[in-house]
């Protein structure tokens, strides 16, 4: 046993240079975001002084307009590298939250919110591209799992911190939270300046930097992968959008269960994300198969909601226990699905056009988030079980479709290769590539 362990230590792949700084930056970013994300309407109402209806309308409109920043960010990543674009977005987002407390008029709020929305919508795709630049093989899956765990933990910590600040300082605490969030972006940017991502030269393969988005929209396997993610993304919206409404209107349960469910989800993701992802990688599962498994776990959890909504137990203890078991099953699906699906999208994107590819992939998340509230509420008006039935169907279709895509996706994307840090390989710097077309 000792010999085996010592051999594992000698053959262990070295940590990616700058990885610790990168992970700390993710945690700081998530903690700052957690100070406003859980109660965004209340937050912006207090820091701007505008009414709830006005704030809600502005956030909806600028959120949709902010999607226009994705193509530009993707092209910028391919031209300048993900780290430079990420630092720019940190600056945009930090400046926005620094100015929010001064945006008391409607035009000022719209201007600041629109600029911040561009940064917020583009940031996930840029971070995915950065993971693709600094890591290869199993390291991508590991970083995906770590980033997901850190984001959940940071959001929870930020939410608790904001609650404490507001509880002590009253309405002035919302302004303090806005400025602390701005400071978190500044600190994350300082940390990320120490991460050096080396970009490979443009490949001689079918992906040409000059092709721009024409190449992305001609890549049917990747578009299929993006469509699959849209189906799964609807399921990710269920806990935050559908669950509270279903609990109070159909199950007629206490609202306090919602907070308990969110806490359980956050704790499981933060504590078990890296461990579950490591177990999946250790078993040698293809990324497509583990992604499909996550979808099947989602489907099982959504089907359980239908069963619970059919019987509707009158006992609060039985209802609460059943809901917590379903949330735990749902969260397990998230832990299995998220790292594999994220790494699959990064690995399936050609290096020369990775920024544009992942910007297109991010649209599936943004569109599902925009569609979910109206879709779920319309189905709920007919029958409380209908939204869950829809999600069972979308999850099953997603599981089947991603397995069928195995035949057409790049083999290096489907199978997890041994971890090889990109920064450990000396490569020639890439030439600037053309802007988006």
At 355-390, the pLDDT tens digits run 999 999 999 998 888 888 889 989 999 999 999 999
Tell me the per-residue pLDDT of 291-322, one tens digit each, with 9 for 90 and over. 999 999 999 999 999 999 999 898 889 999 99
Q: Which band of pLDDT confidence, cut at 50, 70 and 90, is reported for residue 114?
A: very high
Mean pLDDT for the stretch of residues 249-273:
86
pLDDT of residue 251: 94
Query: Is it the case that residue 278 has pLDDT exceeding 90?
Result: no
Amino acid 62: pLDDT: 87
What pTM was estimated for this model as a whole?
0.80
In this predicted structure, which of 15-29, 48-62, 198-212 has the lowest mean pLDDT?
Answer: 198-212
By percentage, how much of the chain surpasses pLDDT 70? 88
Q: What is the pLDDT of residue 166?
A: 81
Task: Please compute the mean of the pLDDT values over residues 112-128 and round it to a whole number.
Answer: 91
Residue 274 has pLDDT above 60, yes or no: yes
Cβ atoms of 124 and 80 closer than 8 Å: no
Place of tokens 């093989």: 137
- Predicted local distance difference test score (pLDDT) of residue 42: 78
Nearest by Cα to 227 from 124, 64, 367, 437? 367
- Residue 81 gets the label, from left (phi > 0), alpha (psi -120 to 50) or beta, of left
Q: Can you say how many angstroms the Cα of residue 394 is from the centroid of all Cα atoms in its chain?
A: 19
pLDDT the model gives residue 433: 35
pLDDT average, residue stretch 340-353:
92
Kindly state the average pLDDT of the residues 21-25.
91
User: Worst-scoring range by mean pLDDT, 110-114, 231-235, 273-277?
Assistant: 273-277
Each residue's pLDDT tens digit, 139-178: 888 888 888 888 888 888 888 888 788 888 888 888 898 9
Determine the pLDDT at residue 307.
Answer: 97
Mean pLDDT (whole number) for 337-357: 93
Cα separation values, 97 from 75, 91, 119, 170, 323, Å: 26, 10, 11, 19, 36
- In this prediction, residue 197 has a pLDDT band, given cuts at 50, 70 and 90, of low
Give the model's confidence band at 420: pLDDT under 50 very low, under 70 low, under 90 confident, else very high.
Answer: low
Lowest mean pLDDT among 34-38, 142-146, 207-211, 237-241: 207-211
- Between 354-382 and 316-348, two packed helices, what is the crossing angle to 10 degrees? 150
Residue scoring higher pLDDT (44 or 233)? 233
Neighbour count for residue 65 (Cβ, 10 Å): 15
What is the 3-class SS of 63-92, one letter each residue? Answer: HHHHHHHHHHHHHHHHHHCHHHHHHHHHHH
Whether the pLDDT of residue 21 is over 80: the answer is yes
Min mean pLDDT across 172-181, 226-235, 288-297, 323-332 is at 172-181
What does the pLDDT read at residue 64?
Answer: 85
Closest CA relative to residue 159, chosen from 141, 138, 177: 177
The reported pLDDT for the residue numbered 94 is 95
pLDDT of residue 364: 94
- Per-residue pLDDT, averaged over 259-280, amounts to 85
What pLDDT was estimated at residue 199?
55
pLDDT the model gives residue 189: 95
């Amino acid at each position: 046993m000792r010999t085996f362990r010592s051999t594992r230590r000698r053959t262990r792949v070295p940590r990616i240079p700058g990885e610790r700084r990168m992970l700390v930056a993710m945690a700081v970013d998530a903690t700052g975001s957690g100070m406003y994300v859980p109660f965004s309407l209340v937050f912006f109402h207090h820091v701007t002084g505008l009414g709830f209806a006005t704030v809600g309308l502005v956030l909806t409109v600028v959120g949709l307009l902010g999607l226009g920043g994705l193509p530009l960010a993707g092209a910028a990543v391919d031209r300048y590298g993900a780290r430079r674009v990420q630092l720019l977005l940190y600056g945009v987002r930090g400046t926005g939250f620094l100015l929010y407390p001064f945006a008391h008029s409607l035009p000022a709020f719209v201007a600041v919110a629109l600029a911040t929305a561009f940064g917020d919508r583009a940031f996930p795709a840029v971070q995915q591209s950065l993971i693709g630049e600094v890591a290869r093989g199993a390291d991508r899956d590991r970083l995906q799992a770590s980033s997901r765990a850190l984001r959940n933990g940071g959001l929870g910590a930020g939410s608790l911190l904001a609650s404490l600040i507001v509880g002590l300082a009253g309405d002035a605490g919302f302004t303090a939270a806005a400025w602390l969030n701005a400071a978190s972006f500044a600190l994350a940017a300082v940390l990320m300046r120490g991460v050096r991502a080396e970009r490979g030269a443009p490949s001689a393969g079918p992906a040409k930097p000059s092709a721009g988005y024409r190449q992305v929209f001609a890549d049917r396997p990747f578009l299929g992968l993006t469509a699959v993610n849209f189906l799964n993304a609807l399921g990710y919206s269920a806990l935050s959008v559908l669950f509270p409404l279903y609990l109070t209107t159909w199950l007629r349960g206490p609202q306090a269960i919602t907070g308990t469910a969110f806490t359980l989800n956050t704790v499981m993701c933060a504590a078990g994300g890296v461990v579950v992802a490591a177990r999946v990688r250790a078993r040698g599962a293809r990324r497509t198969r583990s992604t499909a498994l996550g979808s099947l776990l989602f489907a099982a959890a959504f089907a359980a909601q239908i069963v619970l909504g059919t019987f509707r137990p009158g006992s609060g203890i039985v209802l609460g226990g059943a809901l917590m078991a379903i949330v735990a099953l749902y969260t397990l699906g998230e832990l299995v699905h998220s790292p594999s699906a994220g790494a699959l999208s990064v690995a399936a994107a050609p290096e020369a056009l990775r920024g544009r590819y992942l910007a297109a992939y991010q649209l599936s998340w943004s569109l599902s988030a925009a569609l979910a509230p109206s879709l779920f509420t319309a189905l709920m008006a007919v029958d409380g079980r209908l939204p869950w039935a829809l999600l069972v169907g979308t999850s099953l279709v997603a599981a089947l479709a991603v397995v069928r895509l195995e035949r057409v996706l790049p083999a290096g994307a489907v199978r997890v290769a041994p971890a090889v840090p990109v920064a450990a390989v000396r490569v020639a710097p890439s030439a600037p590539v053309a802007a988006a077309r």
